[in-house]
């Protein structure tokens, strides 16, 4: 009977660790996915993450909801113009220069709904 307790304990502990840990600062799962993206292009040190962002901000999302999500992320800078929003972050400023930057550009239609977006993550080096 003692042999069964240990695997059950490990399974329960692993399930607890898999739960989201930060649900109060907006939808941080989007940022986690983006920062977790592997950058395979050594030449540009850039990866397209538009597919990830478009799952959280699909075409047709209102400007209000877009701003609400971006402000709720708790980091980054938002620059607004009448037809566009640009969102940028800078994460990591270590001695080795292993910084990752996100750039998200959103274009809105005449009804202030998302018309298109582009997004990428840059890495400052290939460490």
What digits encode the pLDDT tens for the residues 98-110? 678 899 999 999 9
State mean pLDDT over 40-55: 89
Please tell me the distance from the alpha carbon of residue 123 to that of residue 97, in angstroms, as a whole number. 9
Residue 70 lies in a domain: yes
Residue 66 lies in a domain: yes
Residue 14 lies in a domain: no
DSSP 70-125: HHHTS-SEEEEETTEEEEEEEE---TT---EEEEEEEEE-TTSBEEEEEEEEEESS
Which range of residues forms the domain containing residue 36?
26-123
Count CB-CB contacts under 10 A for residue 53.
22
Please tell me the distance from the alpha carbon of residue 101 to that of residue 69, in angstroms, as a whole number. 18
CB contact at 8 A, 75 and 66: no
Is the whole-model pTM more than 0.85?
no
Residue 6 lies in a domain: no
CB contact at 8 A, 115 and 107: yes
Tally of domains within the chain: 1
The pLDDT of residue 97 is 60
CATH code (residue 47): 3.30.2060
Residue 56 CB-half CA count within 13 A: 23
Please tell me the distance from the alpha carbon of residue 86 to that of residue 79, in angstroms, as a whole number. 5
pLDDT digits over 73-100, tens only?
Answer: 878 899 999 999 999 987 766 556 667 8
Residue 74 lies in a domain: yes
């Amino acid at each position: 009977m003692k042999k069964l307790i240990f695997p059950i304990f490990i399974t329960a502990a692993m399930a607890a660790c898999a739960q989201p840990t930060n649900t109060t600062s907006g939808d941080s799962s989007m940022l986690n996915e983006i920062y977790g993206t592997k950058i395979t292009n050594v030449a540009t040190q850039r990866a397209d993450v538009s597919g990830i962002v478009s799952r959280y901000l699909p075409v047709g999302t209102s400007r209000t909801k877009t701003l609400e999500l971006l402000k709720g992320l708790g980091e980054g800078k938002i620059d607004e113009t009448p037809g566009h929003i640009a969102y940028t972050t800078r994460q990591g400023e270590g001695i080795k220069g292993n910084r990752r930057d996100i750039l998200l550009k959103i274009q809105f239609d005449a009804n202030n709904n998302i018309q298109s977006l582009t997004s990428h993550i840059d890495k400052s080096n290939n460490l």
